[in-house]
Chain A
Amino acid sequence: MDYETVIGLEIHVQLLTQSKMFCGCSTRFGAPPNTQTCPVCLGLPGSLPVINRRAVELGLRAALVLNCTVHPSSQFHRKNYYYPDLPKNYQISQYQYLEHPPLATDGYLDIEVDGQRRRVGIRRVHLEEDTGRLVHPAEGAVSWVDYNRSGVPLMEIVTYPDLRSPQEARAFLLKLRQVLQYAEVSTGRMEEGTLRCDANVSLRRPGEPLGTRTEVKNMNSIRSVERALAYEVARQREVLERGGAVVQETRHWDERRGITFASRSKEEAEDYRYFPEPDLVPVEVTPEWLEEVRRSLPELPDARRDRIMAQYGLGRYDAELLVQTRATADFFEAAVAAHPSPKSIANWMLGDLSAYLNEHNLEIDQLRVTPGQLAELVRLVEEGTISGRIAKDVLVEMLETGDSPRSIVDRRGWVQIADEGALRETVEAVIRDHPEPVRDVQAGKEKAIAFLVGQVMRRTQGRANPALVQRLLRERLGLPPQG
């Protein structure tokens, strides 16, 4: 009998605010240690927190795109524990406690795996503050604390245990990242720590109650979440098949070794002694505010994909790729607006452009090429000014210099040779210099003509119009026009 995999995720997302959750300090990443701090985020005696309205607004945006119920009044709590990266030795968080709900609860996000649509329940969305960062130098028996990150706004998203495979977990994270990026809530980059994910995983016989779960931590990319879960599922399966029992514990993912291992277990469960934060008043969300936030949300990826398919006549696969990020979809629609050839533009974007992005590990909004320039390139090809072959070289130069395709073509003299008189001379020369292939062609081996076309192209540095060359060669060698 087989086991069913049950996975739930806890995701921490850094919100795209200018300032911290409870003070005015900057959230900019990479500043020298402890330069973005004040009495509040240092937890100095007497300091008090004040809620960042923008952070609540981003929380509301996330709650809406995750189809959650937003609570008109929610409360912050204190989570009490000692650690040197936590200056107050309590974290201000919206842990769901008793009668006090968090910002939003009970939503969902639809994902697709292998063509199957699945609905993943969202248990809750809440706001909290980040901790500082400990730095352990290689030398010396000291540790340093950098409080720049202390108080940076975080949103925690907790799913119901609705995921049934590591692949689904991966699909969920990709989808979550996509909608959060669309809603401009977060950059959602696991590699940069703006999205962090812990996973609860257990196995059970179908129809039976949930099995004992382990919590897997320390994954730093969506791929490593999938790998870690696959490892952990296999490990638990082996334990169960041996007749053993899964131990409820926290396990760390070791990316290099590709395994999870149990972290030092505490003697007893930690008691965080949650209680309502008396220094803050409840977060009140009026229906008017919520409506205002709802109105400011952009078109979400699924809706945009469907519209792009209908409006531009693209296939589902291409449309799906084009809406992968909001910036890609924006780029596409801006280019189409400049030159209405959606299919060609999509082909360029999903082909050469996408290859270049992957090769250089760039995002589309980091490109030097503008949508208008790509549109111009497509137009130059369609107008016959350059060949499709040359266009590839033009694009490479556009990507490197940021120059417009027109100016590159002019500078390089890459305008297509469509002058029959000029080409005839080259055709004569090629025929003269390659008697063998010419005989082959005349003997009926029509394929050999491709070689001759290639020679003409070579002598014109690719600028000849290939169709014209083909016609001239065939005329000259007495072949019927191509059908």
Chain B
Amino acid sequence: MRELVGRPYHEIRPRLGKDLSVRELVDAYLENIARLDGQVRAYLTVSADQARAQARELDDRLARGEPLPPLAGVPVAVKDNLCTRGVRTTCGSRILEPFVPPYDATAVQRLREAGAVLLGKTNLDEFAMGSSTENSGFFATRNPWRLDHVPGGSSGGSAAAVAAGEALAALGSDTGGSIRQPASLCGVVGLKPTYGRVSRYGLVAFASSLDQIGPLSLDVRDCALVLQAICGRDPHDSTSVDLPVPDFVASLEAGVRGVRVGVPAEFFGEGLQPEVRQAVLEAVRVLEGLGARVEEVALPTLEYALPTYYLIACAEASSNLARYDGVAYGYRSPRAHDLYTLYARTRAEGFGPEVKRRIMLGTFALSEGYYEGFYKKAQQVRTLVRRDFDRCFQTVDVLATPTSPVAGFRLGERTADPLQMYLADVYTIPVNLAGLPGISVPCGFVEGLPVGLQLVGRPFEEATVLRVAYAYEQATEWHRHRCPLLRA
């Protein structure tokens, strides 16, 4: 059944209920997890029994002649900061190690309703804080393309799982690039929808005004399929938007003739690996060759995006993570002997160093006397970043940039220097600040490591972003490459 693994869903689907059962498809993926995950370490929890039960149920429905739901039998992995009813949800943190949610996140529930089969929960940087998955409270995930390299992060487990054929598609969350950057480093497609497009209900909050859930997949068509299933207004999330959801798959093939592609010069400056620059500019030329009109645009606030992001994200995180106190659920320090030590020791022992660093930064930024200078100022800069994008989108339809400044880095290479780690998201962060949709698609290789092209669109224009990404993908072969591990 090895041949099933690593092929996009739209190729598999026509066979379901004919020469292929959901059970066979799911088993093929579970076998591949058993074969490879010892090396890749993408999963924190594999829920094999539940997956097989769900597969059987779908096969029964197929046997009864029921219509195939849109994601029937898709073996999916879910980042472990999305609540899954009855399946442990740790956020990659010791402090939530024993936590089993009594409810499904809306996005997870919608995946299930669309017929997807949950294989398990993937590793991440603790509470999604990081760019390499090395901040996991449990273990580091490896890049399936080169096992001594990081898969990116924080959705590194989800990206690695898709790249290694350990899941056909996955859900990640993206606060500052946590879907797109690992997608880029692992050579898969990853999309962050517009803020408000996908309900955050059940996504364990890192930074509430920036977090979005999105798909990771082998190609753009699968990405559109998964996005279709999870989008739309949810009464449980006040920030989810009540806008019609277009048919993303239907508009994929509209082409890019006449589409205006903006190239912001600031995204091609210092710090960008030359080979990455070359690959991305080559990708822009491909789009031009397909009939797109390319022009240079300016995003001068780029240089302020990173500090702005770290103030806002840390401030919100310091409050969001206050609830992990050992009182009602999760880890509780056995060394606590009164209320103060219950809080202090539980949190000292339960959180890792990066989480503590951000809680302290955020607490400081919100403190009396500093609020105006830090948090409020950051909100004002955020408005300027948004305006920069608005201005660009008056003349172009999408922006094309690198997803990550480098093709990848080794495990341990950046762990000693948080600032170096933060720079991994320098091109993705502004997109979160402005709440825009962004996708990363494979556009080349550097020394066996994939390179990603980032395409960014206007608010709620995921369809345009997907259409341009699809046109590019169809004109190139990058998305057909599979990592050596999977081919072996």
Binding site for B on A (CB under 8 A): 39, 42-51, 78, 80, 82, 84, 87-90, 98, 145, 147, 271, 273-275, 278-281
Contact = CB atoms under 8 A, between A and B. Distances in A.
A228 to B, nearest CB: 28
A131 to B, nearest CB: 13
B315 A275 contact: yes
Interface of B: 81-83, 89, 91, 96, 99, 101-103, 105, 200-205, 207-209, 235-239, 315-316, 318-319, 322-323, 325, 327-329, 339, 343, 363, 366-368, 371, 375-376
A388 B245 CA distance: 76
A45 B375 contact: no
B335 to A, nearest CB: 16
Contacts of B89: 45-46
A406 to B, nearest CB: 55
Contact of A45 (B101, B367, B368): B101
A82 B238 contact: no
B322 A88 contact: yes
11 contacts: A39-B102, A43-B328, A45-B91, A46-B203, A82-B322, A84-B325, A87-B323, A90-B322, A274-B366, A274-B371, A275-B375
Contacts of A43: 323, 328
List the 10 closest pairs (A to B, CB-CB), nearest first: A89-B322, A278-B208, A273-B366, A278-B209, A45-B204, A46-B202, A46-B83, A271-B368, A46-B204, A88-B323
A44 B329 contact: yes
A280 B209 CA distance: 10
B184 to A, nearest CB: 27
A48 B203 CA distance: 9
Contacts of B319: 78, 80, 90, 273, 275
Nearest to B312: A278
SS class, residues of chain B in contact with chain A: loop
B361 to A, nearest CB: 13
Contacts of A278: 207-209, 239, 316
A147 B327 CA distance: 12
A49 B343 contact: no
A46 B343 contact: no
Contacts of B328: 42-43, 87, 145, 147
Nearest to A79: B319
Binding site secondary structure of chain A: loop
A482 B237 CA distance: 84
Given A98-B376, A145-B328, A279-B238, A45 B83 contact: yes
B416 to A, nearest CB: 30
Contact of A46 (B201, B207, B316, B368): B201
Nearest to A277: B208
Contacts of B339: 84
B367 A271 contact: yes
Nearest to B340: A82
A45 B350 CA distance: 15
Nearest to A40: B236
A329 to B, nearest CB: 40
Given A80-B366, A273-B363, A48 B376 contact: no
A147 B105 CA distance: 22
Contact of B371 (A39, A47, A275): A275
Contact of B208 (A51, A84, A279): A279
Given A39-B101, A273-B366, A275-B371, 19 more contacts: A42-B328, A43-B328, A44-B329, A45-B83, A45-B99, A46-B101, A48-B200, A48-B237, A49-B238, A80-B366, A82-B322, A84-B339, A87-B328, A88-B323, A275-B319, A278-B207, A278-B209, A278-B239, A279-B239
Contacts of A47: 201-202
A258 B440 CA distance: 70
B29 to A, nearest CB: 26
B230 to A, nearest CB: 15
A82 B102 CA distance: 24
Contacts of A273: 318-319, 363, 366-368, 371
Contacts of B375: 275
Contacts of B325: 82, 84, 89
A124 to B, nearest CB: 20
A194 B313 CA distance: 38
B201 A48 contact: yes
Contacts of B318: 80, 273
Given A87-B323, A271-B368, A46 B82 contact: yes
Residue with the greatest number of chain B CB neighbours at <10 A, chosen from A47, A87, A98, A145: A47
Contacts of B343: 82
A407 B142 CA distance: 90
Contacts of B207: 278
Contact of B238 (A48, A78, A89, A275): A48
B74 to A, nearest CB: 23
Nearest to A281: B238
A422 to B, nearest CB: 77
Contacts of B238: 48-51, 279-281
Nearest to A83: B339
Contacts of A275: 315-316, 319, 366, 371, 375
B82 A145 contact: no
B238 to A, nearest CB: 5
Contacts of A274: 366, 371
Contacts of A39: 101-103
A114 B419 CA distance: 70
Given A45-B89, A90-B319, A273-B366, A145 B209 contact: no
A78 B316 CA distance: 10
Contact of A80 (B236, B322, B327, B329): B322
